[in-house]
Amino acid sequence: MSAWSWVTQLLYVAAAVCFVLGLHLMNSPASARRGNQVSTAGMTLAIVTTFALVIHSGTVKPAGWAVMIAGTLIGAGAGLYMARTIEMTAMPQLVSLFNAVGGGAAALVAINDYVHVTGSTAGVAESVTIFTILDVLIGAVTFSGSIIAAGKLQGLIDGAPITFPGSRAVNFGAAAVGVGGAIYLLVSPSVPVLIIIILAALAFGVTMVLPIGGADMPVVISLLNAFTGTAVAMAGFVIGNWALIIAGALVGASGSILTKLMADAMNRSLANIMIGGFGTGDTGPAIEGPGGDVRSIQADDAAIQLAYAQKVIIVPGYGLAAAQAQHAVAELATVLEERGVEVSYAIHPVAGRMPGHMNVLLAEANVPYPQLREMDEINPEFPRADVALVIGANDVTNPAARRPGNPVSGMPILDVDAAKSIIVIKRSMGHGYAGIDNELYVNPKTSMFFSDAKSALAELTSAVKTLVG
Amino acid sequence: MTPDLLTDITIFVLAILVGFEVISKVPATLHTPLMSAANSIHGIVLAGAMLIAVTAHDALGYILAFIACAFAAANVVGGYVVTGRMLKMFKRTRTPVPAAAEPAAVSGNGQAPAATKPGGAA
């Protein structure tokens, strides 16, 4: 091993150390920014090292330089523009898009390597082919799957599960062609067969994500994130680069953990989500709850309850984000705090369209992060709360989850019904994603404030202010 | 199986274990920035994309190199910038509220003790 190889490999190891440290520093909001800076430094180091390697190779033709630099600059410009302008509510789409391009780039690395190696007379070493094929398959599935996921989140594609006659068959067919082609390639290298398995993998990605409903997106994004990481690690095997292997493995681990957390929080198995079709809203039979009268409330009465409470816990759900009401809720909380009310937010793991999404939306609305409380941490505090204010959250508050025999059974929920009184802001008595009645709404302690989240919060804020005056 | 491959696999497995260990300590509050940070880390594939250019000698190679570099560069630059943007929003205390949110009618109405109340519930 030459001195040059030693130095470049060590620099890659240093970059990998930065990635691990960067992720480690994300264990607290206070140090997370530094973590991102450390990670950025590692990435810069890795890219500069690679650039030095490219120069050192001495085989790059002018056209090669041109495409490399032009591609990088154009991509960097596009990435920068999107990162600067994206709305926080649209974060899941952006992450999905970055998964797509990351997976796509990883697949291209393998495709190029394969075409190059089969073109040479030496033939293909079997060990190289396995990783090449895995990289191509996973990368292509991630690419098309993530684009479909981003399209669904952006509303370009219907968010409801999409199935067409034979869609399941197409999905299985694509998987069969991909696996069959992969086995063929292990026996006899062939570029046309490689193209066939790329197309099969792209088709598989599309038919995998189309039948999955919008509310399952936190799981899907996490899973595709894990896929991208794995594809990048495979690309590392293909070109023999440790930095790619380590970085890919880290992302694969992160995506897997988040996938499991999200699936658990939704009380669904991964297989159940991937098979899809649940929660279409029209096929799920509505299971009747115990019934009972619903008490509705007006802004003034709700404001009095809130203003004279000692402790208020706000339970935001996706409906809050959908109504763009995160700033309105933060304003109400500020007014209440000025009166001496203790306010905190109970955040269910799947509140939002990706893991932790609600926290970012509230942080953007200037809510200090010590007020953002995780489910396990806040649940024991509900009995002490004078008012639990539920905004746009439904299934995650349904006490029916504690009983067996219904679609939400066993789902971890926020113990909202333990609060001394409950105010639910909701547009109508419509069902949540699970398609069942929420028993919380007929609880004698519960008052329903039927309104759009944003205008309801504005009314409450001004009513509380009037009380102060 | 070559020793090189064995080394690669060892590194891969150990890195996954390190990943599990480090990432399981990230609080749920930061899961979106975490995913975004992981996203930017897999932008390392830019290194692989740049190395395509080394072996590219025909039109196909150039096209692949161009697309791969563009994809990976968007991934890495966008990922880090947006992660930084998100993390900047997480603050321990409320920053001074914009003037519009503090109506004059409210001020000076016996709320002085409340104004110093700490934001944290714990």
Decide if B61 and A112 are in contact by the 8 Å CB cutoff. yes
Handedness of CA A156, A160, A164, A169 (dihedral sign): positive
Q: Which of B8, B45, B107 to mutate to test the interface with A (most CBs of A within 10 A)?
A: B45
ipTM of the predicted structure?
0.88
* Beta bridge pairs of residue A312: A343, A387
Q: Do B19 and A86 touch (CB under 8 A)?
A: no
Q: Identify the closest residue of chain A to B82 by CA–CA distance.
A: A83
Given this model, what pLDDT does residue B102 score?
42
Domains held by chain B: number: 1
Q: Check residue B97 and give its pLDDT.
A: 52
Q: Average model confidence (pLDDT) for chain B?
A: 80
B116 reaches A (C-beta below 8 A)? no
Q: Using CA atoms, how far apart are residues A373 and A371, in angstroms rounded to an integer?
A: 6
| Close Cβ partners of A55 (under 8 Å, ≥ 6 residues apart) | none
Nearest to B2 among A98, A127, A250 (CB): A127
Q: Is the pLDDT of residue B13 over 90?
A: yes
Interface test with B, best of A53, A219, A232 (most B CBs within 10 A): A232
A446-450 sheet: strands from edge to edge: A372-374, A342-347, A311-316, A387-391, A421-426, A446-450
How many angstroms separate the CA atoms of A204 and A206, rounded? 5
Pairwise CB contact (< 8 Å): A232 & B44: yes
One DSSP character per residue, A442-467 reads GSTTEEEEES-HHHHHHHHHHHHHHH
B105 lies in some domain: no
B2 in contact with A at a CB cutoff of 8 Å?
yes
The verdict on a CB contact (< 8 Å) between B35 and A74 is no
Which residues on chain A are in Cβ contact (under 8 Å) with B104? none
Rounded average pLDDT over B46-60: 87
Of A20, A228, A239, the CB nearest to B48: A239
Inter-chain touch A245–B84, beta carbons under 8 Å: no
Q: What's residue B106's pLDDT?
A: 40
Write down the pLDDT at residue A190. Answer: 84
Task: Name residue A6's amino acid.
Answer: W
Out of B29, B61, B82, name the one closest to residue A29 (CB).
Answer: B29
Task: For residue B102, give the chain A residue with the closest CA.
Answer: A335
Q: How far is CA A195 from its chain centroid?
A: 30
Nearest 5°: the CA angle A293, A297, A299 is 165
- The partner residue sitting opposite B42, judged by closest CB among A232, A352, A375, is A232
Q: Give the model's pLDDT for residue A280.
A: 38
Residue B114: what pLDDT? 40
Whether pTM exceeds 0.90: no
Q: What is the mean pLDDT of residues B43-71?
A: 90
Instruction: For residue B109, list chain A residues with Cβ-Cβ distance below 8 A.
Output: 468-469
Residue B32 lies in a domain: yes
- Residue A285 backbone dihedrals phi, psi, to 5 degrees: -70, 135
For domain A299-468, the CATH superfamily is TPP-binding domain (3.40.50.1220)
Instruction: Give domain status of residue B81, yes or no.
Output: yes
For chain A, helix (H) and strand (E) counts, in that order, are 16, 6
Of A24, A73, A357, the CB nearest to B22: A24
Query: Are residues B71 and A331, on separate chains, in Cβ contact within 8 Å?
Result: no
What does the pLDDT read at residue B71? Answer: 96
Q: How far is CA A7 from the centre of its chain?
A: 37
* Residue with the larger pLDDT of the pair B35 and A215: B35
Q: Which residues of A are catalytic?
A: 395
Q: Is residue B7 part of a domain?
A: no
Residue B66 belongs to what domain range? 28-89
Domain spans of chain A?
Answer: 1-80, 103-284, 299-468
More confident residue, B98 or A76: A76
Residues of chain A scoring pLDDT < 50: 277-289
Q: Does pLDDT of B112 surpass 60?
A: no
In terms of Cβ atoms closer than 10 Å to its own Cβ (0-12, 13-18, 19+), residue A452 is middle
Would you state the pLDDT for residue A229?
Answer: 96
Q: Do B82 and A29 touch (CB under 8 A)?
A: no
Residue B99 binned pLDDT confidence (cut-offs 50, 70, 90): very low
Compute φ and ψ for A260, nearest 5 degrees: -65, -45
* B13 located within any domain: no
d(CA A225, CA A258): 9
Judged by CB atoms closer than 8 Å, whether chains meet at B1 and A47 is answered as no
**Contact residues, B window 45-74, toward A, CB-based 8 Å cutoff:** 45-57, 60-74
Give the per-residue pLDDT at A427.
Answer: 83
Which pLDDT score is estimated for A267?
A: 79
